């Protein structure tokens, strides 16, 4: 094969989507599950996706559905519904590329999340609780014991399936077939049983935990000193089974256990990937999806991003003020991470409809979520579900492939994004709020609600303010609740000044410290050494940097640093440390805006939000205006250089009066405009 042929057969992730040879394919996908449909309805469903403007179809390939006996799988020989290869080929015929999800866990609202019943009931495969019992997930329609990501017995079972499905699909990988992306597993937050002391005490997990400690602590003496256990060795050390720390010096044992959990999923994903590649699913990018409230789970985007090329986020939100703020945080962090990795900010699941055991999500909720996420930097999405099936309500295409009225929204949205080449634009955010992994780990360790995971509390509307236990700890006080409140107060102050901002993480700290004019680091009192080293170097280069609400006094395990490597100097352009004080935060934001020449994008009334997306020359091209409130509003804003705006969904043209726009919005709605610039 010539060098040109090799280049033409390579799939490359770009910020705009997937490069397939000479074609750049935006990631606009819709989900359809072939195994839930009569094959006679496959073509109408796929053609409906094409008619809605989708370029890809996303489908699960569930292990438990295809398995007939251990090691025996039906790919259409007995049941035509299970001919995954025929479905993929048909998708290619109608003009769609294909994203496959072979698991081993696919969820998809299937019983046992698509795993074989015999596997989840095999004791050696099951995750183990702190009390030594199987860990059950109470999810409709049938609770089941969840597998262990560390279990060698489970990996042996999964290897047989992944090898079989990989060989079945390998001939259909691009460029000889339409498969261009493969998702590994699904929502890897330990099957939503992700409390720090909830699981996984499986013997194979404990072996990995002890190996991790041996890697971290070079000698037994160091291990004993840090854990405060004179009898500990790398062969017998036990993890904590409940929170028992009485001082910050005792947090290390608990934080180590939480970090071990963060290593389990990427370690398993790496093993799944190797099996699939060996079976023939090589040469295409892999992905994984982060579920709702991912920041409260053991999912570490940095570690998972080292295994898969594309890290996406799931969106299933209601239209409301609180949820719009949540979408802003999640999406802006996703956009920063994606920019750092030069791949598209992607919604692995952008909700259209809902499963019957969820709170109902209407078309207005789905449209609000999609447009708000796009406003804050989303650049590609998979509409889940695009084609309806059992255990799903409200998809834009019915079970027989007939588009419903709400399909028109998705068609118009895709056409609007294509018209302005939206995936080539950028939302600029001069301020980054960097939330370290060590803070999120600490919040999980100090979570006070026992078997109810921090993720569940956050999904239900809480957060560290409702879930953190941080009383009666002597030493350096870990200020988790204050840190969460600090970030909230900072958001309010930045909004009042009209300064665009985005969230970030320490896995992309190098990128943040390069592109942001002002970086504010969420500091509960301690930070990991690697992040501190970056921050020290950034300050030496003159980077505007602030910690809050606590000064740096400890490392990530909350063992005291003496002296602190970050100390305020007269040369600091902004305060090095900001306390949790609304007035002080407001003053600091206003001062930073002046001294750092931060751009302004104000909108009135205060409940409204707006974002502008610019082209490669920095010229404003697209405007979003968001009303998350339950009342209609007239938003007033100014976009420098724009003289008119055309609504890309309803066609209304609005002119600027003396440079200012007045835009009417209905309750809980978002409008998307193409800007006309002054000549």
What pLDDT, on the 0 to 100 scale, is given for residue 665? Answer: 98
Domain stop point among 577, 595, 613:
595
315/441 same-domain check = no
583/640 same-domain check = no
Would residue 303 count as lying in a domain? yes
- Mean model confidence pLDDT for the chain: 94
- Cα 435 from Cα 506, distance rounded (Å): 7
CA angle 534, 429, 613 (to 5 degrees): 145
pLDDT class of 571 with cuts at 50, 70, 90: confident
Q: What is the CATH number of the domain that holds 20?
A: 3.20.20.80
Q: What is the 3-state secondary structure (H, E, C) of 85-138?
A: HHHHHHHHHHCCEEEEEEECCCCCCCHHHHCCHHHHCCHHHECECCCCCECEEC
Given strand 11-14, what is the order of strands in its sheet? 11-14, 17-20, 23-25
- The DSSP result for 211-269, as a single string, is HHHHHHSSSHHHHHHHHT-TT--TTT----SS---SBGGGHHHHHHHHHHHHHHHHHHH
Given strand 642-647, what is the order of strands in its sheet? 426-427, 609-614, 620-627, 669-677, 642-647, 653-655
Instruction: Please state the rounded mean pLDDT for residues 590-601.
Output: 96
- Identify the residue whose tokens are 């003159």: 542
What pLDDT, on the 0 to 100 scale, is given for residue 463? Answer: 65
Task: Assign 304 to helix, strand or coil.
Answer: helix
What pLDDT, on the 0 to 100 scale, is given for residue 573? Answer: 87
Percent of all residues in the chain with a pLDDT value above 90, rounded to a whole number? 87
What pLDDT, on the 0 to 100 scale, is given for residue 486? Answer: 97
Would residue 202 count as lying in a domain? no
What pLDDT, on the 0 to 100 scale, is given for residue 591? Answer: 96
Comparing 66 with 8, the larger pLDDT belongs to 66
Instruction: Please state the rounded mean pLDDT for residues 381-398.
Output: 98
CA angle 137, 140, 144 (to 5 degrees): 35
What pLDDT, on the 0 to 100 scale, is given for residue 460? Answer: 63
What pLDDT, on the 0 to 100 scale, is given for residue 465? Answer: 56
What pLDDT, on the 0 to 100 scale, is given for residue 357? Answer: 86
What pLDDT, on the 0 to 100 scale, is given for residue 658? Answer: 78
pLDDT class of 63 with cuts at 50, 70, 90: very high
Instruction: Please state the rounded mean pLDDT for residues 151-172.
Output: 98
Residue 620 has pLDDT above 80, yes or no: yes
pLDDT tens, 77-103?
999 999 999 999 999 999 999 999 999
pLDDT class of 1 with cuts at 50, 70, 90: very low
Q: CB of 601 within 8 A of CB of 633?
A: no
By C-alpha distance, which of 358, 285, 418, 383 is closest to 45? 383
7/137 same-domain check = yes
pLDDT class of 579 with cuts at 50, 70, 90: very high
Instruction: Please state the rounded mean pLDDT for residues 584-601.
Output: 96
Would residue 256 count as lying in a domain? no
Cα 601 from chain centroid?
27
pTM of full prediction above 0.85: yes
Residue 222 has pLDDT above 80, yes or no: yes
Residue 309 has pLDDT above 80, yes or no: yes
For residue 473, give its domain range: 431-595
By C-alpha distance, which of 35, 26, 41 is closest to 397? 41
- The DSSP result for 167-214, as a single string, is HHHGGGBTTTSSEEEEEESS--SGGG---TTTS---HHHHHHHHHHHH
396/485 same-domain check = no
153 burial level (CB within 10 Å; 0-12, 13-18, 19+):
middle
79/7 same-domain check = yes
- Cα 628 from Cα 427, distance rounded (Å): 20
What pLDDT, on the 0 to 100 scale, is given for residue 450? Answer: 62
Q: Which of 123-132, 139-148, 224-233 holds the top average pLDDT?
A: 123-132
579/443 same-domain check = yes
Domain stop point among 595, 615, 650:
595
Would residue 200 count as lying in a domain? no
Domain stop point among 567, 595, 623:
595
Instruction: Please state the rounded mean pLDDT for residues 48-74.
Output: 98
For residue 339, what are the contacts with CB-CB under 8 A and spacing of at least 6? Answer: 15, 345, 426, 511, 515
């Amino acid at each position: 094969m010539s060098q040109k042929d090799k280049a033409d057969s390579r799939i490359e992730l770009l910020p705009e989507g997937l490069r397939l040879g000479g074609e750049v394919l935006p990631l606009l996908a819709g989900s359809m599950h072939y195994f839930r449909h009569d094959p006679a309805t496959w073509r109408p469903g796929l053609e409906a996706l094409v008619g809605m403007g989708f370029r890809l179809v996303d489908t699960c390939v569930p292990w438990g559905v295809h398995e007939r006996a251990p090691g025996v799988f039906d790919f259409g020989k007995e049941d035509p519904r299970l001919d995954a290869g025929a479905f993929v080929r048909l998708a290619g015929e109608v003009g769609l590329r294909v994203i496959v999800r072979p698991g081993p866990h696919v969820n998809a609202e299937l019983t046992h999340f698509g795993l074989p019943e015999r596997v989840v009931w095999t004791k050696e495969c099951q995750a183990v609780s702190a009390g030594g019992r199987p860990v059950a997930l109470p999810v409709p329609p049938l609770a089941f014991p969840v597998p262990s990501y560390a279990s060698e017995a489970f990996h042996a079972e999964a290897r047989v399936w992944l090898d079989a499905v990989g060989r079945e699909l390998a001939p259909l990988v691009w460029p000889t077939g339409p498969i261009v992306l493969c998702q590994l597993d699904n929502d890897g937050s330990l099957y939503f049983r992700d409390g720090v002391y909830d699981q996984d005490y499986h013997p194979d997990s404990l072996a990995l935990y002890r190996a991790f400690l041996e890697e971290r602590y070079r000698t037994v003496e160091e291990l004993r000193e840090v854990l405060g256990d004179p009898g500990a060795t790398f062969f017998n050390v036990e993890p904590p089974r409940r929170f028992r720390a009485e001082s910050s010096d005792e947090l290390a044992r608990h934080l180590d256990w939480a970090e071990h959990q963060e290593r389990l999923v990427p370690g398993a994903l790496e093993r799944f990937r190797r099996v699939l590649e060996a079976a023939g699913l090589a040469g295409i990018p892999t992905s994984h999806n982060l579920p709702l409230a991912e920041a409260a789970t053991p999912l570490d985007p940095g570690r998972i991003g080292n295994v898969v090329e594309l890290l996406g986020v799931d969106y299933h939100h209601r239209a409301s003020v609180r949820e719009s703020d949540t979408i802003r945080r999640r999406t802006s962090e996703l956009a920063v991470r994606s920019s750092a990795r030069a791949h598209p900010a992607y919604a692995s699941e952008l909700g259209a409809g809902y499963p019957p055991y969820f709170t109902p999500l209407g078309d207005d909720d789905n449209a609000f979520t999609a447009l708000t996420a796009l406003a804050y930097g989303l650049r590609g999405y998979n509409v889940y579900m695009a084609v309806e099936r059992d255990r799903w309500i409200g998809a834009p295409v019915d079970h027989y492939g007939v588009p419903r009225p709400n399909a028109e929204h998705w068609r118009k949205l895709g056409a609007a994004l294509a018209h302005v080449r939206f995936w080539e634009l950028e939302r600029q955010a001069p301020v980054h709020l960097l939330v370290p992994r060590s803070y999120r780990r600490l919040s999980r360790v100090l979570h006070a609600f026992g078997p109810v995971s921090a993720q569940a509390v956050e999904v239900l509307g809480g957060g560290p303010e409702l879930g953190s236990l941080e009383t009666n700890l002597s030493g350096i006080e870990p200020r988790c609740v204050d840190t969460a409140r600090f970030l909230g107060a900072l958001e309010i102050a930045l909004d009042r000044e009209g300064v665009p901002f985005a969230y970030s993480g320490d896995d992309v700290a190098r990128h943040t410290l390069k592109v942001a004019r002002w970086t504010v680091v969420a500091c509960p009192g301690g930070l990991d050494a690697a992040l501190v080293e970056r921050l020290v170097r950034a300050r030496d280069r003159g980077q505007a940097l602030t910690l809050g609400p606590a000064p740096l006094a400890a490392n990530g395990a909350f063992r005291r640093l003496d002296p602190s490597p970050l100390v305020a100097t007269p040369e600091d352009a902004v305060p090095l440390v900001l306390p949790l004080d609304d007035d002080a935060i407001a003053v600091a934001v206003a001062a930073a805006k002046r001294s750092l020449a931060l751009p302004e994008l104000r909108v009135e009334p205060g409940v409204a939000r707006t974002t502008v997306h610019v082209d490669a020359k920095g010229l404003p091209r697209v405007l979003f205006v968001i009303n998350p409130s339950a009342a209609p509003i007239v938003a007033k804003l100014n976009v420098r250089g724009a003289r008119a705006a055309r609504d890309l969904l309803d066609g209304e043209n609005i002119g600027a009066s003396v440079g200012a726009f007045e835009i009417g919005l209905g309750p809980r709605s978002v409008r998307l405009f193409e800007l006309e610039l002054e000549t």
